[in-house]
Chain A
Amino acid sequence: MLELNGVSKTYGDASVVERTDLTIPAGRTTVLLGPSGCGKSTLLRLMIGLIRPDTGTVLLNDTELTSENALAMRRRIGYVIQEGGLFPHLTAEGNITLMARYLGWNEQVVGQRIAELADLTQFPRDGLRRFPAELSGGQRQRVALMRALALDPDVILLDEPLGALDPMIRAELQTDLRNIFRWLGKTVVMVTHDISEAGFFGDSIVLLRQGRIVQQGTLRELVASPADPFVTQFINAQRSPLETLRGNFE
């Protein structure tokens, strides 16, 4: 379980996150949703300790994240970002196993783990020897996911993991990712600005605006009983193609 208590973060004069309390339930997928600049990525980076909050605390399984334990805590959290953030000088396998090898895992265990992860993400074995520059965008994100999962973390954080992919590959990867999350049963937090993606993944959606939580609930709850006119406004802003067609015929 991941908990944020009274967390706030300011950059200069701009308040990015205002005193926020948030509990991420274990074993489920929570989506942080909102327009650009609402603080959703900042929340994610606070959760893994890449930035320190000005006030408040972040707790992972009841342990407070501090600068002293940050390295150890991060090894229990997987982190995937938009363009993958893969290390270009290492092969896919090198990227995935960097941390395990650094921690001195024996080669047999490392080999087994790679095989498991490649099966899980349906990644071709021969692709493991390729460098990031030789992989497609979708394959790179699968490698990034494998890297995040390598140490079998308790929590997986994903920051717009599919944002840079074209729609067909994106849809395919969405399905695969959701299956993987359900199969693993891990605590997942995903950041997106796409309401349909949020609805597709999220057991629970946290809608943010200007550093504050506007509403937390399922997609159904957000649509049926919006806490604020902004909720409806945000949902309606993303027009579906079918609606557009209908509008043209009217």
Chain B
Amino acid sequence: MKRLRWNLAAALLLNGASLLAQTAAPEVKVGSKSFTEGVILGEVVTQLARSSGVAALHRRELGGTQVLWNALRRGEIDVYPEYTGTLRQEILAGRSIPDDEALRQALAEQGVRMSRPLGFNDTYALGMKEQVAEQWGIRTISDLRRRPELKFGFSSEFMDRGDGWPALRDRYRLPQRDVRGLDHDLAYRGLDSGAIDVTDLYSTDAEIRYYRLRVLDDDLRHFPAYDAVLLYRADLPERAPQAVAAMLRLEGRVTAAAMIEMNARVKLDRVPETRVAADFLGTNFGLSTAAKEESARDRFFQNTRAHLTLVAISLTAAILFAVPLGVWAAKRPRAGHAILAIVGIIQTIPSLALLVFMIPLLGIGNAPAIVALFLYSLLPIVRNTYAGLHDIPLSVRESAAALGLPAGASLRLVELPMASRAILAGIKTSAVINVGTATLGALVGAGGYGQPIFTGIRLDDVGLILQGAVPAALLALLVQGLFELFERLLVPKGLRLKPAA
């Protein structure tokens, strides 16, 4: 019953949100994960599809594997770049998949098709400074056995992974004892300064070019293959055959060197992905695709509108729902405990997890973000409404009853006005939390100020991070100021006075 009501509420919000989002429907929707390589490939695919004369939209930086996979299955995107290793390890984990043909078969059962490999394998690898590797004559991981004195520094993830350091050491019988876990970025700097000699990396990392690293050959085939492929919906070839044909021209055409170069241009040279993708298509396919780049101003207004949409819809819905819920909690003590416990528990769910939970139910875009923000906004409002009503002295409540005022009128004329300050304070708290949390909406494709923040984090671009963080902080302050103004207008003057006697 409760679930039904949630779904209903969600469906209502979803309708409102999709109305806002609906413009001319593109024929092909391309998705990409929140990391540079994914965004570049997404952009390449989008421009290829467009070159076939099809209207294509790139929904970039949608989050992680689960988000993209669910969005693909629900038809919110039609195609996105993925890796065979990820499919095996995360999406089809637990199934026995001996080769790519079996993988293709397993995906087909879910209505998803997989292209042939695009040409590069973005797997874990070990890397050293070119100069150091040359000095010791190291080309393969097996070569490391001859140099026990080398210092290893690995990312914490690699230290713990099933196919990470312990398995690698056993497989190659590596003798090194000076092995430490550290942050990935620090590891690169450590290599540069000579504090460590070897680190883990992805075989197409931009830093390979920047730091002049040699990627050691995995001669015993320890690391699983992470061949880049395109995943697309089985119904896409019927809907847009020419677009699929155009996209599949990428098969076998993207080399590791080309990918490293593209990653480096975006990450290190700060060239926009659209331009890098257009240059790649120009060089390799002789296509001249128009890389249309938005101005920072356009982006800012777009993000502001998206952010305000998320906040306004979710907060309004939360107020309309949470105030009556708080009243109910205050009036029915037994139900009240349950209500406060439930909204309290919702608050303890990490916001990212809540967003991801929403995706199977609501897909990507505004709907999951609005529902998650709505849920997050409940607790402060419910709790303050409850506390505001609960703290009204018994003498006042009895005086209202003794006058012969019915319960409803007592609530409207006496209790809610007396609790108004607490209720407004709760709404203010919710609004400020909401403005901040809404930045996470960018992870599920809802846009907003989170978009430049996450892009900035991905590209290590502080300027870009500030383009999102500063307006978000200002908006939070503005909202806070606005509610302080409301407080002056809405809280009765008598409640703001200090008692005289």
A residues touching B (Cβ–Cβ < 8 Å)? 48, 50, 70-75, 77, 79, 81-83, 85-91, 98-99, 102, 131-137, 140, 147
Contacts and interface: CB of A to CB of B under 8 A. Distances in A.
A137 B501 CA distance: 6
B395 A90 contact: no
Nearest to B491: A89
A87 B399 contact: yes
Does more than half of chain B's interface fall in helix, strand or loop, or is it mixed? helix
Contact of B405 (A88, A102, A136): A102
A88 to B, nearest CB: 5
Contacts, number: 81
A88 B402 contact: no
Given A86-B399, A88-B396, A98-B405, 14 more contacts: A75-B403, A79-B399, A81-B395, A81-B398, A83-B395, A85-B396, A85-B399, A89-B492, A98-B403, A99-B405, A133-B494, A135-B500, A136-B501, A140-B501
B409 A131 contact: no
B497 A133 contact: yes
Contacts of B418: 87-89
A72 B404 contact: yes
A50 B398 contact: yes
A71 B404 contact: yes
B457 interface: no
A212 to B, nearest CB: 25
A207 B296 CA distance: 84
28 contacts: A50-B401, A72-B404, A73-B404, A74-B404, A75-B403, A75-B404, A79-B402, A81-B398, A81-B399, A83-B395, A85-B393, A85-B398, A85-B399, A87-B396, A87-B399, A87-B414, A89-B414, A89-B417, A89-B418, A89-B494, A90-B492, A98-B414, A99-B404, A102-B409, A133-B494, A135-B500, A136-B501, A147-B403
Residue of B398, B406, B418, B494 with most chain A CB atoms under a 10 A cut-off: B494
B331 to A, nearest CB: 17
Given A90-B494, A133-B497, A50 B413 contact: no
A21 to B, nearest CB: 24
Contacts of B499: 132-133
A113 to B, nearest CB: 15
B470 interface: no
A48 B399 CA distance: 11
Contact residue range for chain B? 20 to 34
A73 B357 CA distance: 55
B495 interface: yes
A140 B494 CA distance: 14
Contacts of A50: 398, 401-402
Contacts of A91: 494
A88 B495 contact: yes
Contacts of B404: 70-75, 99
B5 interface: no
A132 B418 CA distance: 13
Contacts of B494: 87-91, 131-133
A71 B413 CA distance: 16
Interface string B93-134: 000000000000000000000000000000000000000000
A90 B420 CA distance: 13
B402 A131 contact: no
Residue of A82, A132, A136 with most chain B CB atoms under a 10 A cut-off: A132
